[in-house]
């Protein structure tokens, strides 16, 4: 079945890069997404990558996809305090399947 795994916590210093990793199981996933959830707020789509792509860059965000290893990563350059949130990886087959989320904490 579908399963998405993420590490639960990541702590970085302000200004450094953050790398959040995700593995998934469904090789037929067409799209893979990164969502952001701030405290008390809903899920906000950050970026996506189509399954035939290896990389996608969008301003401070870089998504890397290794389809052979079913590994997805999100790199946030120049991490700011406003980036503190929970980040969810999600794969799309017939519906979105989410990982547990990675809580990103920024240290001054």
Partner 1 sequence: DTGVSQDPRHKITKRGQNVTFRCDPISEHNRLYWYRQTLGQGPEFLTYFQNEAQLEKSRLLSDRFSAERPKGSFSTLEIQRTEQGDSAMYLCASSLAAFTDYGYTFGSGTRLTVV
Name 103's Cβ contacts closer than 8 Å, sequence gap at least 6. Answer: 8, 9, 10, 85, 86
Residue 75 Cβ, how far from partner 1 at the closest point, in Å? 19
Name the residue nearer to partner 1 (CB basis): 74 or 97.
Answer: 97
Name the residue nearer to partner 1 (CB basis): 99 or 106.
Answer: 99
Residue 15 Cβ, how far from partner 1 at the closest point, in Å? 28
Name the residue nearer to partner 1 (CB basis): 8 or 77.
Answer: 8
Quote the tokens at residue 20.
Answer: 């959040």
Residue 101 Cβ, how far from partner 1 at the closest point, in Å? 5
- The DSSP secondary structure of 8-72, one letter per residue, reads SEEEEETTS-EEEEEEE--TT--EEEEEEE-TT--EEEEEEEETT-SEEEETTEEEEEETTTTEE
Residues in touch with partner 1 (CB under 8 A): 4, 8, 30-31, 33, 35, 41-45, 48, 50, 88, 90, 92, 94-101
């Amino acid at each position: 079945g579908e399963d998405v795994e993420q590490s639960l916590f990541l702590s970085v210093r302000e200004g450094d890069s953050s790398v959040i990793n995700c593995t998934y199981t469904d090789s037929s996933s067409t799209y893979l997404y990164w969502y952001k959830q701030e405290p008390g707020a809903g899920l906000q789509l950050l970026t996506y990558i189509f399954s035939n792509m290896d990389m996608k860059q969008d301003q401070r965000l870089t998504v890397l996809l290794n389809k052979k290893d079913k590994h997805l990563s999100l790199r946030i350059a120049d991490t700011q305090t406003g980036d503190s949130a929970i980040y969810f990886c999600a794969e799309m087959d017939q519906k979105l399947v989410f990982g547990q989320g990675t809580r990103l904490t920024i240290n001054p």
